[in-house]
Amino acid sequence: MRYFTLEIDAQQLRVGVKAGSGGQTPLLLFNGIGANLELLEPFTLSPEMADTEIITFDIPGTGGSPNPSKPYRFPGMAKMASRLLDQLSYGQVDVLGLSWGGALAQQYAKDHPDRCRRLVLAATSTGMIAVPPKLGVLLRMATPRRYLQTSYMQRIAPSIYGGRFRRDQKSITEHRKKVIAPSMMGYACQLFAGYGWTSLPWLRRIRQPTLIMSGDDDPLIPLANAKILHRLIRNSRLEIMPCGHLFMLTMAAQTAELVREFCAEQNHGVLRPSRAASGQTG
């Protein structure tokens, strides 16, 4: 992954681009709330994604991107992503969004349909109107404290991320070593972007072939939300991963293989059994 800084509409963005073989549509990737680019390296740098060109960026106020000059909403961030593609001379892309980034991916697919060929939604929901997590989980996610205090991250990761993090402290340690803490303003702006937002009124208008992935042990975004997305997005396929919220990291190879195969398909067929569902758990 090559990292560099660009200015888009007076906003400095730290951008990451990984070269591919040139034979596949590039993949635009939106990360989760407060998360820096390095946290997704198990997925972006996996051998399964070697042939796929990947474009991603730190949301303002996270990672290496400075704070935004003012609050923003998802449509504004989707427009910024489109202008980033313009500046990098990309045309049509596939789009993948994880968690908070999944909401942004839905917005991008709606607002820029000609530039979004296929859509991948990982561990995400329809926004404010959705099946909520338990109150304790929601309160722990309301601040960036887990990024700021390593001992706190170590303690609460099992309860908010589930899956492998419930039983493997080493995985939590390796995860937090890559953390670059977001600013308080940056985290607050990401929360504000999602406040009151929901995709429910227009999800049926999404026409891109869509792969929906969800962990079966996700305390933060319960599995029921993926089933709602699958029901409302007509041309969609659902894959249930035997893991928690961060299956893109703990099951990086299996997730990357699903994404690679989905994006390489010529026609969007019916739901097929997931390899991950019958293999290693995360």
Catalytic positions, written as ranges: 99
Residue 135, both tokens: 């109150």
- Per the rule left: phi > 0, alpha: psi between -120 and 50, beta: everything else, 61 is left
Which amino acid appears at position 79 of this protein?
K
Look up residue 69 and give its two tokens: 């000059």
Cβ atoms of residues 102 and 126 within 8 Å: no
Q: What is d(CA 13, CA 208) in angstroms, rounded to the nearest whole number?
A: 27
**What's the DSSP call for residue 59?**
P
Rounded CA-CA distance 158/152 in Å is 11
Cα–Cα distance list, 264 to 25, 151, 194, 273, 277 (Å): 8, 41, 31, 17, 20
Task: Quote the CA–CA distance of 93 and 101 in Å, as a whole number.
Answer: 16
DSSP secondary structure letter of residue 127: B
Pairing of strands 27-30, 93-98: parallel
CB atoms under 10 Å from CB of 176, counted, come to 18
